[in-house]
Amino acid sequence: MQKGFSLIELMVVVAVIGILAGIAYPNYTDYVMRSKITEATAKLSEKRVQMEQYFQDNRQYANAATPCTTDLSGQNFNFVCNVPDTASYTITATGRGSMTGFVYSVNQLNGKRSVITNVPGWNTDCAGSGWVTTKGGAC
């Protein structure tokens, strides 16, 4: 009576594991990337609300130092708030580290924009029509 596994059986098991890993790993990395994007979209939405609250109190965006500069740090994105005049602003999230190539922004009209460069499978530019949050997703 034979005990253990034959070389053929082990090779079949390794092949099945390799095929499963080949399918699962790209899906996992896309899932991780999508989870990191929520940091940018959530922070941009939060800051937009704070800017609108400031506008309701002061009737202008200029000198909106408090809502526009406080807590703009992020783990995967750098956030910059630009207030060129009293009637407009743009808040931009630029990816860093594994999120390099992702840029999201929102303005006073709730115009959302995604610019994604050098990331295969992602839409490259959605000007004013929304944020791309999934690979191959629409604006």
Please check whether residue 137 lies inside any domain of the structure.
no
Please check whether residue 131 lies inside any domain of the structure.
no
Please check whether residue 60 lies inside any domain of the structure.
yes
Alpha-carbon span 29 to 34, nearest angstrom: 9
Tens digits of residue pLDDT in 69-81: 777 778 999 999 8
Please check whether residue 100 lies inside any domain of the structure.
yes
Please check whether residue 52 lies inside any domain of the structure.
yes
Please check whether residue 118 lies inside any domain of the structure.
yes
Q: What is the CATH number of the domain that holds 20?
A: 3.30.700
Tens digits of residue pLDDT in 32-71: 999 999 999 999 999 999 999 999 998 888 876 667 777 7
What is the CB neighbour count within 10 angstroms for residue 29? 12
Domain residue limits at 83: 7-126
What is the CB neighbour count within 10 angstroms for residue 39? 18
Please check whether residue 139 lies inside any domain of the structure.
no
Name the domain count of the chain.
Answer: 1
Please check whether residue 15 lies inside any domain of the structure.
yes
pTM above 0.85, yes or no: no
Q: What angle do CA 17, 18, 20 make, to 5 degrees?
A: 65
Q: What angle do CA 29, 31, 37 make, to 5 degrees?
A: 105
